[in-house]
Amino acid sequence: MPDSTEVFQDSTRAMPKQGRAVQTYERLLDVSGDLLAEVGIERISTNLICARAGMTPPALYRYFKDKYAVLEALGRRLLSRRSDILTLWLAETAPKGQQALADGLPSVLSETWSATLKEPGAVWILKALRAVPQLAHVRVETYRDMTDMVTSVFSATLGHPPRDDLWLRVRIALEFAFSADELLFEEDRLPQEVIIAEASELLRRALMEALPMAGADRD
């Protein structure tokens, strides 16, 4: 069985490097995101994408072999942008210490949600990453990489090496935090600021309570 990298490389015909090709590639993704929000995961097709983008199928197939390759690229782009926000926040906040990390959770969640809101078809991309078996590896790989990063930063803040129990807490916390995005999109009975505040508090408890345990010696 090929590893996840091979799956990704096989699903994309040619990653663009030139200016016009990059613009075409990004436009295809933007159009696909909007279309995904309109027709859903099952109905979206390469023919619909081409019709909406005003392109011929051969033009699309230069980059994607099928609709699942398009969905995969959408998922990777969205998760990469969310990861960039987290990376920058950690770089700016971690040197200020453990309390700053705890206090900064609402702001980074809010910023992540705002960036997600701007992504065409974002909530449906997130659903696709959970509902489509061919895309599960994209979400799992990205969240594991982010968990490794957060665990290393939190451990460095404490001055101790990473520990399995901290990695577990961080992994679960990230899964929850990103799942809360769907709640922000779909639940109109709760103000967005309340959802962010409650999610931040749950994350703070999960992560901050794990930090002393992560730095302590086991019996």
Listed range (11-15, 17-21, 137-141, 146-150) with the worst mean pLDDT: 11-15
For residue 66, the domain's CATH number is 1.10.357.10
The DSSP symbol for 134 reads G
Residue 97 pLDDT > 90? no
Q: Give just the sign of the alpha carbon dihedral 47, 130, 132, 83.
A: positive
- pLDDT bucket at 174, cuts 50 / 70 / 90: confident
Total structural domains within the chain? 1
- pLDDT bucket at 208, cuts 50 / 70 / 90: confident
Element spanning 17, H or E: none
Residue 141 pLDDT > 60? yes
> Which residues span the domain enclosing 13?
4-215
Residue 90 pLDDT > 90? yes
Q: What does pTM read for this prediction? A: 0.84
Give the pLDDT score at 3. 35
